[in-house]
Amino acid sequence: MKLSRTTLVAVVLVVAALGIIGIYFLTMPPPAQPTPPTAPTPPEQPTPPTQPQPPKPEQPVQPPPGPTLQTLTIGTSTISVPSDFYDFVQKVKTGEVKVTINFWTSMSDWEVSVMKSVVEMFQKEYPGVTVKYTNVQNLKEQVKAGVLTGDVENTAHVFTWAHDWTGDLADGGAIVALDQYLPPETITDLKKQYATSAFTSGMYKLRLYGLPWASEAIALVCNKDFVPTAPRSWSEYESIMQQWYNPSERKYGLAYQIDPYHVYPFVTAFGGFYYDDDTDAVGVNSPGAVEGLRFYITHVMRYMYTADTGMEAQLKILLEGRAPCMITGPWNSKTIQENIRNPVVYAIPPIDGKTPRPFSGIKLLWITSVTANDKNRLYASILFSLWFTLSDDGLRVLVDAGYIPVKISILQYLQANADKYPMILGFAQSVANSVPMPKSAKMNYVWGPVADALNAIVTKYNEEGPDAAAGAVKPLLDEAQSKILTKIRG
């Protein structure tokens, strides 16, 4: 009798607890992050800035809306900005207004020290703005989580990464569009400052989300002792590879990491592509891509070490002088300069007059949407983005550290001092030939299947030789294409 009563109480308790949990679940906002262990009250959200406030009918967009324009000078650039922003800049310059912003990156050690010195230069110029610089892991996850919880103090206000995140971040509402706060005049002025491809990489759905400060694209990095002048065509370089290739002595014609990103120049040279932002088309098995990879197998892979096509092994081949050149990007510049006496960078030579176009990544500065409700912070973030991407002094420090600039005045400076920057200029040429990586979030579905197809081609090549591998290109790419299409359709 006693026992059954206890059981009854226990059952009632469990049911009640489940009920509480059930109600809690029902009242919860649509699936929130699983992590926050504190009671997930709907995160305090900055009211979205694009939200149509009780619209004032007499709100004209143009001609010159309310704010008058003033001319702001940063480095060698003059841009017209709204006068309240101009006033803010003057106040932080004298230290009359004080504001703190968080600047986040996810970089390697040597980059962090460069960033620190540039941030210091900014603070000297604008003592009113304190930039708290942090190098974080999992940058994207941390920024998104910070925006979701709306924690203004502990989230990045400005952060940087390559432009292919733009679509993803903008769709999720993590970053603000600069044109919400800057009039068309400012945007047009800004557009003139940077190389066009770099500037447009910050645009998404007609809005400007980020400003560019550096770019990267792969190029032919050579040891000048072995390849003194730029090869004029791929066949010219192929004859060099023929002389070098001798696997029994472990010598190869070219060091080259094989993955979808790195083989892209050969895909584009024949008119192929993976995904086109403009037409929203997937072209993994397009005739150009198939032809390009077949060419790659017979005219590039043949002279390579294919048993390990990872970055470490291939870089080692170049550094040990077992290959004259490597197709790689500026991120390896430092290691190469430390190990090779006389490195030089050439654009990838044209194949029968067709230009191979590598992917390029543009490093952008974005401003997170947590700043939207705090005008000083927002303006300080905009000022920091402008200064970081426009100040010639700061950019020159970045160039000396090995970054490939995108601001036109700095590019001109590089051309004038060509002998001082043999590597950077070569990469800059390669960037000029490049195709920016697609910004669409759909690109995430492309990498995996294409990587699988490429790896399968390499395996086939190692097991059955070049002819079998070339024969397998078409079916493998067809399969990758259909996989991508199913994923996109969902």
Partner 1 sequence: MARAKSRGLYPARVAYMLIIPSLAMYLFFSLWPVAYSVYIAFTDANNYNIASEPRIRELQAQLASITGYLQGNRELVLEQTYRADAYLGEVSGYLVELKRMIEHSTPETFPVVELMQLRSRCDDALTRAARIVTSNTTFLYYYENLGDALSRAVALIDGGVWGDIDRIVGFKLAISADDLSQLRSSTVPKIDRALAMLEQARSMLKQVESDYDLFVRAATRGLEEEIDRISLHVVGLQNFKTLSSDSRFPNSIFKTLLFVLTSVPLKVTVGVMLAFLFSSELIYGRKVMRALLLIPWALPVLLSVTTWRMFMAPQMGPLWAFLQSLGLDFNIYNKEWDAFLAYNIVEMWLAYPFIMTVTMAAISSVPRELLESATVDGASAWQRFKEIMLPLTARPILFASILTAGASLQAFMVPLLINNGGPTKEVQFLWFARTTAGVNEMMVLFGYNRAYLDQQYGLSAAAYLVVVAILFLYALVWYFLIYKRTTPGGA
CB of 316 or CB of 334, closer to partner 1: 316
Closest CA to 337 of 396, 401, 404, 257: 401
Distance of closest approach, residue 352 Cβ to partner 1, in angstroms: 16
- Taking residue 338's Cβ as centre, other Cβ atoms within 10 Å add up to 9
396-425 residues in contact with partner 1 (CB under 8 A) are: 412, 415
Distance of closest approach, residue 21 Cβ to partner 1, in angstroms: 5
Q: Of residues 98, 116, 132, 192, which one binds partner 1 by CB under 8 A?
A: 192
CB of 131 or CB of 255, closer to partner 1: 255
Task: Dump the DSSP string for 277-301.
Answer: TTTTEE-TT-HHHHHHHHHHHHHTG
Q: Of residues 288, 349, 422, 448, which one binds partner 1 by CB under 8 A?
A: 448
Contact 63, 173 (CB under 8 A): no
- CA 127 – CA 99 distance, rounded (Å): 10
CB of 306 or CB of 328, closer to partner 1: 306
DSSP structural state of residue 354: B
- CA 245 – CA 411 distance, rounded (Å): 37
Q: Binding to partner 1 by residue 119, rule CB under 8 A? A: no
Q: Of residues 136, 374, 432, 466, which one binds partner 1 by CB under 8 A?
A: 432
Q: Which amino acid is at 391?
A: S
Q: Of residues 112, 114, 397, 456, which one binds partner 1 by CB under 8 A?
A: 456
The piece of 17-25, 92-100, 260-268, 346-354 that touches partner 1 (CB under 8 A) is 17-25
CB of 360 or CB of 401, closer to partner 1: 360
Q: Binding to partner 1 by residue 57, rule CB under 8 A? A: yes
- Give the three-class secondary structure for 132: strand
- Which element (helix H / strand E) includes 77? strand 77-82
- CA 275 – CA 284 distance, rounded (Å): 7
CB of 85 or CB of 445, closer to partner 1: 445
Distance of closest approach, residue 146 Cβ to partner 1, in angstroms: 11
- CA 222 – CA 228 distance, rounded (Å): 9
- CA 216 – CA 186 distance, rounded (Å): 26
Q: Of residues 70, 76, 130, 200, which one binds partner 1 by CB under 8 A?
A: 200
Q: Of residues 90, 188, 229, 342, which one binds partner 1 by CB under 8 A?
A: 188
Q: Of residues 125, 374, 392, 479, which one binds partner 1 by CB under 8 A?
A: 479
Using CB under 8 A as the criterion, what x/- string covers residues 280-299 for binding partner 1? Answer: --------------------
- Which element (helix H / strand E) includes 266? helix 264-269
CB of 3 or CB of 55, closer to partner 1: 55
DSSP structural state of residue 298: H
The piece of 266-274, 304-312, 327-335, 394-402 that touches partner 1 (CB under 8 A) is 304-312
Contact 267, 286 (CB under 8 A): no
Q: Binding to partner 1 by residue 353, rule CB under 8 A? A: no
Closest CA to 295 of 220, 250, 346, 354: 354
Q: Of residues 84, 125, 259, 277, which one binds partner 1 by CB under 8 A?
A: 277
Q: Of residues 148, 219, 319, 323, which one binds partner 1 by CB under 8 A?
A: 148
- CA 72 – CA 275 distance, rounded (Å): 39
- CA 404 – CA 412 distance, rounded (Å): 12
Q: Binding to partner 1 by residue 447, rule CB under 8 A? A: yes
CB of 132 or CB of 192, closer to partner 1: 192
Q: Binding to partner 1 by residue 146, rule CB under 8 A? A: no
Query: ∠ at Cα 136 (131, 138), nearest 5°?
Result: 140
- CA 255 – CA 318 distance, rounded (Å): 6
Count the residues of the shown chain that bind partner 1, applying the rule CB under 8 A: 91
Q: Binding to partner 1 by residue 474, rule CB under 8 A? A: no
Q: Binding to partner 1 by residue 100, rule CB under 8 A? A: no
222-261 residues in contact with partner 1 (CB under 8 A) are: 250
Distance of closest approach, residue 123 Cβ to partner 1, in angstroms: 30
163-182 residues in contact with partner 1 (CB under 8 A) are: 167-168, 171-174, 177, 179
Q: Binding to partner 1 by residue 305, rule CB under 8 A? A: yes
Contact 359, 264 (CB under 8 A): yes
CB of 316 or CB of 396, closer to partner 1: 316
- CA 329 – CA 421 distance, rounded (Å): 15
Distance of closest approach, residue 369 Cβ to partner 1, in angstroms: 6
Q: Binding to partner 1 by residue 207, rule CB under 8 A? A: yes
The piece of 145-153, 265-273, 324-332, 392-400 that touches partner 1 (CB under 8 A) is 145-153
| Strand 203-204, strand 207-208: pairing | antiparallel
35-54 residues in contact with partner 1 (CB under 8 A) are: 37, 45, 48, 50-52
- Packing angle of the helix pair 109-125, 392-400 (nearest 10 deg): 160
Query: What's the alpha-carbon Rg for the chain, to the nearest Å?
Result: 27
CB of 236 or CB of 320, closer to partner 1: 320
Residue position matching structure tokens 């703005």: 129
Contact 329, 255 (CB under 8 A): no
